[in-house]
Amino acid sequence: MSASKKQSNNGPSPSLNPRPRPTLSQVIKTCQGNPEIAAALAEIYRQADEQIAELDPSCPGCGTCCQFEKMGHLLYVSGIELAYLLETAPPLPAQAEIKLCPYQVSSSCKNRDGRPLGCRSYFCDKGLELPLQKIHEHFHWQVRNLHQKFQIDYYYCELTSSIHSLGSI
Ligand code: SF4
Ligand code: SF4
């Protein structure tokens, strides 16, 4: 037998045996345990808000876009965004039976600081659809990059079902 190191045949090598994917709940806990992630996301939101404000979108604040069922659209958030949203304010239990965002009360948002990119970049002003979409795409990639930078498994999930599945309502 040669003196060189022989690779064991007992089971797959570590590279063929990746760690199991953490659950969304585990991802949320990891994010919430790292204030650097929250600070980095807050900076992304700040820059996105700045660019969106330059477009000067009109919004009388009717709150209809937060009523997902009525609008026929859904709100998707990344794991890092969901962790931040849940950390800045817990969902409102009074909304559990209603198919709208668990942060909306009397047509207004009760978690504006924590609201995800999808909320920040959505306006019903059709004239701004394209520039808003570009801003959303740009900053969405920055959020994705945060997942990579902090080695947080990437989830992109629908808001209300995720909150329910986490047992936060
Ligand atoms: S987080 Fe706020 S802005 Fe976003 S959908 Fe909910 S109520 Fe609306
Ligand atoms: S973006 Fe449009 S639908 Fe949403 S709150 Fe403003 S005016 Fe209402």
Q: Which domain covers residue 113, as residue numbers?
A: 21-56+71-90+97-166
- Identify which ligand lies nearest to the alpha carbon of 58: 2
Q: What does the block give as tokens for 105?
A: 């009360």
Q: How far, in Å, CA of 155 to CA of 167, rounded?
A: 17
For residue 70, what pLDDT is reported?
87
Q: How does pLDDT run across 93-131, given as a tens digit for each residue?
A: 766 555 678 899 888 999 999 999 999 999 999 999 999
What is the pLDDT averaged over residues 79-101? 82
* Residue 5 resides in a domain: no
Q: From atom 1 of ligand 2, which residue's Cα is the shortest distance away?
A: 123
Q: How does pLDDT run across 9-27, given as a tens digit for each residue?
A: 444 555 666 789 999 999 9
* Residue 63 resides in a domain: no
* Residue 137 resides in a domain: yes
- Identify which ligand lies nearest to the alpha carbon of 103: 1
Considering its fold, how many domains does the chain have in total? 1
Ligand 1 pocket test, pick from 115, 161, 163 with the greatest ligand atom count within 8 Å of Cβ, gives: 115
Burial of 158 (0-12, 13-18, 19+ CB in 10 A): middle
Q: How does pLDDT run across 124-148, given as a tens digit for each residue?
A: 999 999 999 999 999 999 999 999 9
Average pLDDT, the chain: 88
Q: How far, in Å, CA of 92 to CA of 21, rounded?
A: 29
Cα–ligand 2 centroid distance for 161 (angstroms): 23
Which residue's structure tokens are 């986490």?
166
Instruction: Report the relative pairing of strands 104-105 and 108-109 from DSSP bridges.
Output: antiparallel
Q: What are phi and psi of 157, to 5 degrees?
A: -135, 155
DSSP character string of 35-49? HHHHHHHHHHHHHHH
Cα–ligand 1 centroid distance for 101 (angstroms): 6
* Residue 45 resides in a domain: yes
Ligand 2 pocket test, pick from 52, 55, 64 with the greatest ligand atom count within 8 Å of Cβ, gives: 64
Going by pLDDT thresholds of 50, 70 and 90, the confidence category of residue 3 is very low
Strand partners, 37: none
Q: What does the block give as tokens for 135?
A: 């801003």
* Residue 1 resides in a domain: no
Ligand 2 pocket test, pick from 62, 67, 75, 104 with the greatest ligand atom count within 8 Å of Cβ, gives: 62
* Residue 156 resides in a domain: yes
Going by pLDDT thresholds of 50, 70 and 90, the confidence category of residue 52 is very high
Exposure string of 46-67, with b = 16+ CB inside 10 Å and e = fewer, is eebeebbeeeebeeeeebebbb
Cα–ligand 2 centroid distance for 122 (angstroms): 8
Which residues does a 6 A CB cutoff place in the pocket of ligand 1?
66, 75, 101, 103-104, 109, 111, 115, 119
* Residue 107 resides in a domain: yes
φ/ψ bin of 62: left (φ > 0), alpha (ψ from -120 to 50), beta (otherwise): alpha
* Residue 8 resides in a domain: no
The reply to whether the predicted model has a pTM over 0.85 is yes
For residue 109, what pLDDT is reported?
94
